Each structure stands twice: as C-alpha cells, then as structure tokens.
Amino acid sequence: MELIKTLISQNKVMVFSKSVCPYCTKAKSAFEKLGVKPFVLEIDGREDCEEIQQAFITLTGKRSVPRVFINGVFLGGGDDTAAALANGTLEQKCREAGALA
C-alpha cells in the first residue's frame, strides 16, 4: 500500500497497468493522444502483484487494472479514461495537474 500511495503522490499522472491488458492499452493510448506521458507501473510479473491489486480494493473499490490517478485523485479504469478523453475532462484534469501545457 505504501508503494502505491507514494507513486500516486509523486506523479501527476499515474497508471497501474498490466502489459497484456487491452483496457490498460486503452487508458495509456488516451494519454498518448493528448501528448501526456503518465508514470506507468506494469504490475504483471512483480512478486507483489497480488498485494498491489488487493490494495486497489481499499483505494478504489475494485482490484482490476488499469487504475488511473490524476493529481492524486482516482479517475477510473480504461473505459473511464477513454470516456474522459472523448468528453474533454481528461485534457482538463491533465492541464489542471500541470501534466499538459
């Protein structure tokens, strides 16, 4: 849990991901379209992968990936991030966080 909280607090845009997850690819692609480079932690292959996903339940109510945070605030998963891109709120949140010029 400490690793997660530290990464969220130290990065304007934080994505917890798995390298083979299509929803994770969707979320990362949304940021790419804006020209934003999130800090991405690929949790698959990590010894603490299961513990990280269990901690997500406490923080976000779900254990699935991706888990996307902007400016320390949970945005959602892949579909939520894609929807935020489509309706303009992703750009707004990234701009407010200082992640987008």
Domain ranges of the chain: 2-97
- Predicted pLDDT at 13: 98
What is the per-residue pLDDT across 21-40, written as a single tens digit (0 to 9) for each? 999 999 999 999 999 999 99
- Predicted pLDDT at 35: 96
Give me the residues of the chain with pLDDT under 50, please. Answer: none
In CATH, which of 3.30.565.10, 3.40.30.10, 1.10.10.10, 1.10.1200.30 is domain 2-97?
3.40.30.10
- Predicted pLDDT at 44: 97
Per-residue buried b or exposed e for 42-69, using 16+ beta carbons within 10 Å of the residue's own CB: bbeeeeeeeebbebbeebbeeebbbbbb
Residue 38, preceding peptide bond in cis (omega within 30° of 0): no
- Predicted pLDDT at 79: 98
- Predicted pLDDT at 101: 67
